[in-house]
Every structure is written in C-alpha cells, then in structure tokens.
Amino acid sequence: MSRLAAAFGKSEKPGTGTGFRKNLYLSRVLPISLVGLGLLAMLAPPARGQETPPPARRCASWFETRRPLFGDLHVHTALSFDANSLGVRNMPVDAYRFARGEQIGLQPYTSGGSPRRTAKLERPLDFAAVTDHSELLGELHICQTVGAAGYDSLVCRIQRRWPLLAYIFVSSRMLNSTSPVRYGFCGEAGQLCRLASSGPWQTIRDAAEGAYDRTDACTFTSFVAYEWSGGPNGNMTHRNVIFADERAPDLPVSYIDEPTGEGLWRSLDAACSNPGCRYMTIPHNTNLSNGMLFTSEVASAEDARRRRELEPLLEIIQHKGDSECRAGEADEFCSFEKLPFSRMEEQPFRARWREPAIGLTFARDILGQGLVREAKVGDNPFRFGMIGATDTHLGAAGLVDERDYPGHGAGGDTSRVEVPTVPDSVYFNPGGLAGVWAEENSRESIWAALRRREVYATSGPRIVVRFFGGFDYAGGMCDSPTFAEDGYAGGVAMGGELSAAAGAGKQPVFNVLALQDAGTAASPGTPLDRVQIVKVWLEDGKVHEKVFNVARSASLVAVEDVDISECAPATNGSATLCAQWRDEEWDAAKSSLYYARVLEQPSCRWTGHLCAKAGIDCSGKTPLPEGFDFCCRNDIPKTVRERAVTSPIWIPAAAQ
C-alpha cells in the first residue's frame, strides 16, 4: 500500500461494514475504559451551549480514519465596506461559485459593466465561508438604497461618489476608534443601521445555504459566518465568527456593538438564541495586533476554559502576513512572509513603518504563554489549533496561486479604474488554506474537526500532513500500510492532548507523514524539503522552544539556487517524507507542546513571477519599468518556501 493510502486509511459508506461498528466502539466504549491513558482528551470538553454532536454519516464517501479537506474560512465580497470601496462587485453567491470552480470577474469594469480581469481556481475547494465585515453592513446598505433614511447624508453621498475616500478618511477612523459610535443617520443607539444589516446578513445566509451540497455526493460545504473587526488605535483584534450550520442569530454582532472579545462572546451567547445555534470565533492577524489581541487577564480555570472552547483556532497565515513565529529568532524559517510593521494605520491603505511587534503577537509566543497561564490558573486559555486563509476582498475564495496573483484587495492596491501593473503591496502575499481531517465533506464532520483542532495551516499548497503523538507506538510506522489506523490507536492526532501520567517511565513518540501537493497537469506541485517538529515547554516559569529536523529530502536546494529569471517549477526534492521521532529530553514535570512544520523546496514568490514575466534586468543597462523597482531590491523577497503547520499536541505537566 502506498504512503498516500496509508495516510488516508479506510473508506467506507456511511453506516455500513466493520468500520462503522469499530467507530461506534471507539466513540462510546473505549473512552470509558481508557480515561487513565489520556485518550479521551482527543476531543476538548465542550462549553455550555457549544456541545458538538457526533458527526452525522450522510455522505456516500465516508472515511473511518478521516480524509484531508481544504478550504478558506476568511472571504470578503462587495457587502464589506472596504471591498465595496475598492470596486468589488462579487457577492457572496459569486464567492461560493468561485470556490466551487466557476469563473468570476474582477475589477476594474468597463463602462458597460464587463470585468477587465477574470479568475478561476484550477481545483475547487472542499469548503468555504464568506466572512463579510459586520461593521457598516447596515450603513453600506442604507447608502446604496434610494429612499432609505440616511441615503442623502453627507457620508453616504461621499461613499457613492468617492467610495475609497469615504473608507479611508471616514469609516476607517471610526473602526480604529477605542470607542466606536455609529453615524448620526443610524438613529438612537444605532438601531436603524443595525436593522438595515438584516438584509445583507440574510443575503450572506442564503448564499451559504444555496452553496451547501446536501445530496449524498457532498461535493462542497459552506458555513454561515462574518468578521468582527476590532481595531482600537489601529491594532487589529479581528475575529471571524463561524456558525455550525444555518441556525445563526438574526443579526451579527459588530465591533461597534461590542468592542472587546469577551463582550463579543457574551453578545453571541445572547444572540444565539435559535435552538441548536453554535459558534466559534477565530482570531487572525495577530502579527498586526501590536500585541493587543490577547491582553485581558485570565482570572480562573473557568475563564481559561471558556476562552479555549469558544476560540479553539488561530489563523496564522493569510494575505497580510504570517503569524507563526517571530522573525529574527534562532529559527531561520521564521522570516517567512513577515511584515515590517506591527499595525495598520489610518492612511490610504499603507502601513506605517514601526518597531517590531511586541507582546503576544505570534502563535508560538501565544502557545507558550498558554502553558504559563495554565500553571497559574489550572487551565490553558490558548490551546489553539492552527489554520490558514486568504482574507481575499475580491470574493476569490482560495485563490492562492503565486504565478498569476491578482491581489486580494485587503491591502488596497487593487485598482478600481485600470488593471494594476503591480496588483498588490509587495509586502503582502496570496494567503493560505485550512487543512481539515474529517470523515466526510459535511458541516457536521468539518465542524467536529475544527472543534477538536484536527486541522492545520498551509501557505497555499495542498500539502497533506498527518501528525500523531503517543507513548506506545511501535517502531517502523513509516513503513506501515496502516499508518493512520496505527496513529489513532496508539495516541492522539494533531490538536489532541496526552496525559503525562500515562507516560510514566516512557518518552513521547511522534509520527509525522507529509505528502507534497500533487498539483495539476498545468501546475505541478513543489517537492518537499524537510519536516520539522517544534517543541515549546515551560521550565522554571520560563518558556523555551526548540526546532528539530526529523526528515530531510536527499535533494537540498538553497533559495539562491532558484532561477528567478525563469521561475521554472522545482523538480528536486521528495514527494513524501515521514519520520518517527522520540523526545528523549522530555520531563513529565514540565508542560510541553509539539507541532509539525513541513517545508517545500524554495520556489518563485508572486513578486518573482511578476519580475520574470516583465523581463526585468537589474544590471542597470536598461531603465526599469515604472513600478518595478522592487524587483532589484534585496529587502523584497522574490522566492518563497511554502509550508504547512499543524495544530499542536499538548502534554500538560504531571500532577506533583
């Protein structure tokens, strides 16, 4: 059996065969008898009102040991005030059409309304969520609805005539306020604008429902969602709010309504009054939060547990940079897609240069601080799984290709009036995807995977990676035809927790299997370079970290070996990498966590592709075309080492 088959495990139809009986046994009987071994911790205990029922097996294709699905849970359309101001015309229904493989148009548009650019995915996504900003959802609707109260206001007149100006100098200032208030035309307590948001909110919900494949073919899954966009003093504390199914609140809660994350959860608890309504929030762009996203103290284990359960995931890679780890540390690969500023400023979609980000700004720091707070209050508030997304503001869900990148609009560099020569800020990137291990492509199964954190981030490529940890794995798992079955049977998958008590007298063993993105005939995937395991642990009250190379390709390619004049696809490297690694330094008395990082061979970044297509000559013999000076600057990368980053496996310290 191939490693691909070993990674996937068995496939069965729902409710049939030994796989169904085995799953029933695993879900009901085994946890009761093996609590002492810590295997029950594969699933985090649900918060009140957040209970996750067992995934309904309704799809024709159902994998007992789960399959990898790829999606984008961060997508904006013309219903978002900022995207609308950039000339975006794609609506939520268009974003879902695009995610399913159909072509969409991109601005600029001709006088006759035809798009001057188009985009289409080479491979459809498995799932997606449109997450338009809840802020100004009703205000924008009023400004575009003739006869509505407020339609003739100064703000709305500016928005219709100079939409970009309206966003830069009017609305963004309100959204970056520490005490945001609605416009005067919104009426007392902003009620008129809140009610006006019901129309576009219903459009978002209807689009999600229309895109969801409810047949047993299960070709595509959509989620009702939106973005809560807190930005006090320009520090991004944004969160995407994802609902388990169509049973969402009647109105979204915005930053204007609730300016803190804790307030958001309280309001969502109240608004989520429809029977069966369940939600989670996913923070993103901690790299632009200036350390302000996780500033509130956690006073008790109950507080920590609530935060962890309502906010189980962290988006670590997207259009506006990478948030895995801090650049300049001992880890050489932390320099990936880092921005030279720590917060967005209220100027025409440019970021002001600032000192390096401080505080809890990168995922590795945040995860480490979770161990610190767990030691203090008795539970870990930052037990985050990790995912990627695009944050596209073009309605182009999952558009992560470096070769013909059209920009994503969130940086403000996508022109309304002409096809841009350089489609985006050279500091930004196409964003990433969420990889999810689920039994089937359904809301129930994907939601359960998100809740138990059996997910991982990719910077765009559809790398397949499995990561298991336990104390009783036999050697040679990489050669086993039942890698996935063995992984679950002997421990926990990414996102899970091991009991240190169960490892008495033993050492934790981790198994990781990675397969390169297969790509397409027109665009083959890039081979893999290495697999690493990152360890973070708490010792004497201080957080420590260490990176281990556990598998390497026989073909080593340096960044400087990439020919950016041609940007030919990489061919050297490994299609699969697998390793079993034992932490011989593990101490049961010290809380620790581990996650896997898979790196591709270096390849051309979108900036490199753009420079190659333009035939840029940096010798100085010929003048550079306007706008292409970045091609000859050493501080703007032309190559990239794409990657996948798994959710961690935690081992809390054994009770003393």
Sign of CA dihedral 324, 368, 452, 503: positive
pLDDT number for residue 521: 85
Q: Mean pLDDT per 10-residue run, the chain (656 residues)? A: 70 41 30 29 34 69 96 98 94 98 97 96 98 96 96 94 84 83 93 97 98 97 97 92 96 94 94 91 95 87 94 97 90 94 58 57 96 96 98 98 92 80 94 98 97 98 98 95 96 97 93 96 92 98 97 85 86 95 97 98 96 92 92 94 98 88
Residue 30's pLDDT is 30
Q: Report the distance separating Cα 93 and Cα 605, nearest Å.
A: 30
Minimal CA–CA distance to 577: which of 607, 532, 634, 630?
532
Question: Which SS3 state, helix, strand or coil, does residue 492 take?
Answer: strand
* CA nearest to 175, candidates 227, 243, 225, 131: 227
Whole-angstrom Cα Rg for the chain? 24
Q: Give me the pLDDT at residue 656, please.
A: 67
Strand partners, 392: 75
**Which among 59, 452, 73, 56 is positioned nearest to 225, based on CA atoms?**
73
The strand ranges marked E within 284-365 are: 313-318, 321-322
Q: Distances from the Cα of 330 to the Cαs of 132, 467, 548, 562, in angstroms?
A: 38, 24, 12, 24
Closest CA to 483 of 511, 463, 456, 454: 511
How far is Cα 157 from Cα 34, in angstroms, rounded to an integer?
Answer: 65
Q: Which residues of 245-259 are buried (b: 16+ CB within 10 A; e: fewer)?
A: bbebbebbbbbbbbb
Locate tokens 């339609």: which residue? 151
Contacts of 113 (CB under 8 A, 6+ apart): none
Report pLDDT for 646: 98
H/E run at residue 436 = strand 433-438
Give me the residue spans of the domains in the chain: 3-134+197-651
Can you give the pLDDT at residue 164? 85
Q: Cis (ω within 30 of 0) for the bond into 312?
A: no
Residue 523: per-residue pLDDT: 87
State residue 391's pLDDT score. Answer: 98
Q: Are 231 and 238 in contact (CB under 8 A)?
A: yes
- Who's near 394: CB < 8 A, 6+ residues apart? 76, 83, 88, 90, 106, 107, 119, 406, 407, 408, 409, 414
What is the residue type of 15?
G
Q: Please name the residues in contact with 108: beta carbons below 8 A apart, sequence gap of 6 or more.
A: 87, 115, 116, 117, 415, 416, 417, 418, 419
The residue behind tokens 């961690």 is 648
Q: Which two tokens stand for residue 170?
A: 């009017």
* Counts for the chain of helices (H) and strands (E), in that order: 17, 26
Q: How many CB atoms lie within 10 A of CB 192?
A: 19
Give the Cβ contact number of residue 40 at 10 Å.
17
Round to whole Å and give the CA distance between 395 and 541: 45
pLDDT for the residue numbered 342: 84
Which of 26, 15, 101, 23 has its CA nearest to residue 61?
Answer: 15
Q: What is the pLDDT of residue 157?
A: 95
Query: Residue 129: which of 50, 214, 246, 236 has the closest Cα?
Result: 246
Predicted pLDDT at 438:
97
- Nearest alpha carbon to residue 372 among 316, 298, 319: 298
- Which of 2, 19, 114 has its CA nearest to residue 61? 19
Nearest to 402 by CA among 557, 627, 607, 103: 607
Q: Is 49 left (phi over 0), alpha (psi -120 to 50) or beta?
A: left
Find residue 519's DSSP bridge partners.
Answer: 524
Q: pLDDT value at position 171?
A: 72
Q: What is the pTM of this model?
A: 0.92
Cβ count near 522 (within 10 Å): 7
Q: What does the pLDDT read at residue 35?
A: 29
Q: Which residues of 577-605 are buried (b: 16+ CB within 10 A; e: fewer)?
A: bbbbbebeebebebbbbbbbbbbbbbbbb
- CB-side exposure of 294: number of CA atoms within 13 Å? 28
Reported as a single tens digit per residue, the pLDDT across 155-192 is 999 999 999 888 877 777 788 888 998 999 999 999 99
User: How far, in Å, CA of 277 to CA of 296, rounded?
Assistant: 27
- State the pLDDT at residue 5: 74
Q: How many residues comprise the chain? A: 656
- CATH 3.90.1490.10 given to domain 3-134+197-651: no
Q: What is the pLDDT of residues 394-414, one digit of tens each?
A: 999 999 999 999 999 876 667
Task: Please answer whether residues 466 and 487 qualify as being in contact, where contact means their C-beta atoms are separated by less than 8 angstroms.
Answer: yes
